[in-house]
Structure 1
Amino acid sequence: MTERVFNFNAGPATLPLPVLEEAQREMLNYRGSGMSVMEMSHRSKEYEAINNEAEANMKELLGLGDNYRVLFLQGGASTQFAMVPMNFLQPGQRADYILTGSWSEKAQKEAAKLGQTHIAATTQEGNYKRIPSLEEIQLSESPAYVHITSNNTIFGTQWQSFPDFGNIPLVADMSSDILCKPFDASKFALIYAGAQKNLGPSGVTVVVIRQDMIEKAATNIPTMLRYDIHAKNNSLYNTPPSYSVYMVNLVLKWLKAQGGLASMEQRNLEKAALIYDTIDGSNGFYSGHADKDSRSTMNITFRLPNEDLEKTFASEATKQGMIGLKGHRSVGGMRASTYNAMSREGCQALADFMKEFMRKNG
Structure 2
Amino acid sequence: MTNRAYNFNAGPAALPLEVLQQAQEEFVEYNGIGMSLMEISHRSKEYEAINAETQQLLLELLGLESGYQALFLGGGASTQFATIPLNFLKPGKVGSYIITGSFSEKAYQEGQVVGEAVIAASNKAGKWRSLPKASDIQLDPNSAYLHMTTNNTIEGSQFSYIPETGDIPLIGDMTSGILSRPIDSKKFAMIYAGAQKNLGPSGVTVAVIRDDLLQEEPKHISSILRYTTHASNGSLYNTPPVHSIYMVNLVLKWVKAQGGVVQLEKQNVAKSNLIYDVIDASGGYYTGNIDPDSRSIMNVTFRLPSEELEKKFVKESQQHNFVGLAGHRSVGGIRASAYNAVPYEACKALADFMIDFQKNNG
- TM-score interval for Structure 1 and Structure 2 normalised by the shorter chain: over 0.9
Q: Which residue of 1 aligns with 2:127?
A: 127
Cα distance in 1 between the residues matched to 2:216 and 2:310: 50
Q: Which amino acid aligns with 2:299?
A: N
- Does residue 356 of structure 2 align to residue 356 of structure 1? yes
Q: Which residue of 2 aligns with 1:158?
A: 158
The alignment partner of 1:283 has SS state of coil
Cα distance in 2 between the residues matched to 1:267 and 1:216: 41
Q: Which amino acid aligns with 1:158?
A: Q
Cα deviation code 1:100-128 (max 9, x no counterpart): 00000000000100100110010001211
Cα distance in 2 between the residues matched to 1:97 and 1:27: 42
Cα offset for 1:220? 2.3
Q: Which residue of 1 aligns with 2:237?
A: 237
| 8 Å contact kept, 1:82–1:107 | yes
Q: Which residue of 2 aligns with 1:340?
A: 340
- Does residue 194 of structure 2 align to residue 205 of structure 1? no
Cα offset for 1:35? 0.8
Cα distance in 2 between the residues matched to 1:308 and 1:234: 52
Q: Which residue of 2 aligns with 1:303?
A: 303
Runs of 4+ in 1 over 6 A off after TM superposition: none
Question: RMSD of the alignment, in Å?
Answer: 0.9
Q: Which amino acid aligns with 2:10?
A: A
| 8 Å contact kept, 1:298–1:337 | yes
Cα distance in 2 between the residues matched to 1:33 and 1:164: 49
Q: Which residue of 2 aligns with 1:11?
A: 11
Q: Which amino acid aligns with 2:80?
A: Q
Correspondence 1:87-106 to 2 at 5 A: 87-106=87-106
Cα distance in 2 between the residues matched to 1:175 and 1:62: 14
Q: Which amino acid aligns with 2:214?
A: I
Cα distance in 2 between the residues matched to 1:219 and 1:20: 42
The alignment partner of 1:213 has SS state of helix
Q: Which amino acid aligns with 1:60?
A: E
- My pick for the range that moved more, 1-10 or 196-205, is 1-10
Cα distance in 2 between the residues matched to 1:82 and 1:311: 36
Q: Which residue of 2 aligns with 1:110?
A: 110
Cα offset for 1:66? 2.5
Q: Which residue of 2 aligns with 1:69?
A: 69
Q: Which residue of 2 aligns with 1:254?
A: 254
Cα offset for 1:217? 4.2
Correspondence 1:223-234 to 2 at 5 A: 223-234=223-234
| 8 Å contact kept, 1:88–1:217 | no
Cα distance in 1 between the residues matched to 2:286 and 2:132: 25
Cα offset for 1:213? 0.5
Cα distance in 1 between the residues matched to 2:347 and 2:213: 40
TM-score by length of 1: 0.99
Cα distance in 2 between the residues matched to 1:218 and 1:127: 37
Q: Which residue of 2 aligns with 1:26?
A: 26
Across the two proteins, how many residue pairs are aligned to each other?
362
The alignment partner of 1:164 has SS state of coil
Cα distance in 2 between the residues matched to 1:347 and 1:2: 17
Cα offset for 1:161? 1.5
Cα offset for 1:321? 0.5
Q: Which amino acid aligns with 1:130?
A: S
The alignment partner of 1:131 has SS state of coil
Cα offset for 1:2? 7.2
- Does residue 326 of structure 2 align to residue 326 of structure 1? yes
Q: Which residue of 2 aligns with 1:57?
A: 57
Cα distance in 2 between the residues matched to 1:207 and 1:225: 13
Q: Which amino acid aligns with 2:296?
A: S
Cα distance in 1 between the residues matched to 2:87 and 2:217: 5
Q: Which residue of 1 aligns with 2:145?
A: 145
| 8 Å contact kept, 1:58–1:70 | yes
Q: Which residue of 2 aligns with 1:168?
A: 168
Cα distance in 1 between the residues matched to 2:236 and 2:250: 19
| 8 Å contact kept, 1:88–1:216 | no
Percent sequence identity over aligned pairs? 58
- Does residue 178 of structure 2 align to residue 178 of structure 1? yes
Cα distance in 2 between the residues matched to 1:272 and 1:211: 36
The alignment partner of 2:114 has SS state of coil
Cα distance in 1 between the residues matched to 2:338 and 2:164: 28
| 8 Å contact kept, 2:173–2:192 | yes
Cα deviation code 1:296-323 (max 9, x no counterpart): 0000000001111111100111110011
Q: Which runs of 5+ in 2 are unaligned?
A: none
| 8 Å contact kept, 1:120–1:138 | yes
Cα distance in 2 between the residues matched to 1:66 and 1:121: 31
Cα deviation code 1:218-266 (max 9, x no counterpart): 1321111101110000000000011000000100000000000000000
Cα offset for 1:79? 0.6
- Does residue 81 of structure 2 align to residue 81 of structure 1? yes
Cα distance in 2 between the residues matched to 1:216 and 1:271: 44
Cα distance in 1 between the residues matched to 2:122 and 2:221: 30
The alignment partner of 1:70 has SS state of strand
| 8 Å contact kept, 2:274–2:347 | yes
| 8 Å contact kept, 1:313–1:357 | yes
Cα distance in 1 between the residues matched to 2:206 and 2:130: 27
| 8 Å contact kept, 2:56–2:65 | no
Cα distance in 1 between the residues matched to 2:293 and 2:86: 35
